Copies of this chain bind each other. A is one copy, B any other.
């Protein structure tokens, strides 16, 4: 890297942790850290499992999205299928499970696109993004309290919706733009 600074000039060391809340999908903790200048600071951290998101593309060049009501956003949102990696799963298993639960398909081919933190300043969720093709119908029961609509749209129509506000989901934007050069 073309900079002159070492890790020492930015490193933070955790001195103590105060556990605040243990929830169903998130935990909250407050870390006290020592800064490079010797002072201390507080860091609020949301603990969340690893996750996967999937760009499922059919043989006609359509992407299969899901529409869900999202309480934090106050309304319905159109997104690529996604979900947490469960204990004992590797990310590809989570991908195939979520595809079957959320859109009723499995995939003959998975291509890893990238892996990224969704909110690295304050959350531990690390997301693995995949392109899924060679789709065939296969249904697993979804979570009882998840209500999902499946929406099939031409891939490039959805890309144009990132600018208009019809798509407002970060993982959908990142994963579809990563997948775009891999499509025929």
Interface residues of A (CB under 8 A from B): 1-3, 5, 7, 9-12, 14, 20-21, 23-26, 28, 30-31, 33, 35-36, 39, 41-46, 48, 67-73, 76-77, 79, 82, 113-127, 145, 147-153, 162-163, 165, 167-174, 177-178
- Picked from B33, B73, B116, the residue with its CB within 8 Å of the CB of A117 is B73
Are B122 and A26 in contact, CB atoms less than 8 angstroms apart?
Answer: yes
Are B71 and A33 in contact, CB atoms less than 8 angstroms apart?
Answer: yes
- Picked from B122, B147, B151, B173, the residue with its CB within 8 Å of the CB of A174 is B173
Are B70 and A173 in contact, CB atoms less than 8 angstroms apart?
Answer: no
Are A170 and B26 in contact, CB atoms less than 8 angstroms apart?
Answer: no
Are A116 and B72 in contact, CB atoms less than 8 angstroms apart?
Answer: no
In the assembly, what is the distance between CA of A82 and CA of B118, in Å? 13
The interface residues of chain B lying within 8 Å CB-to-CB of A24 are 42, 44
Smallest CB-CB separation from A113: which chain B residue? Answer: B163
The interface residues of chain B lying within 8 Å CB-to-CB of A125 are 119
- Picked from B3, B7, B118, B124, the residue with its CB within 8 Å of the CB of A170 is B118
Tell whether A149 pairs with B114 under 8 Å between CB atoms, given A44-B23, A46-B26, A174-B177.
no
- Picked from B2, B69, B72, B165, the residue with its CB within 8 Å of the CB of A115 is B165
Are A14 and B71 in contact, CB atoms less than 8 angstroms apart?
Answer: yes
Are B5 and A25 in contact, CB atoms less than 8 angstroms apart?
Answer: no
Are A118 and B118 in contact, CB atoms less than 8 angstroms apart?
Answer: yes
Q: Closest 7 A-B residue pairs measured CB to CB? A: A177-B177, A41-B145, A174-B174, A116-B170, A173-B174, A43-B71, A10-B147
Are B147 and A31 in contact, CB atoms less than 8 angstroms apart?
Answer: no
Tell whether A127 pairs with B72 under 8 Å between CB atoms, given A117-B77, A149-B10.
no
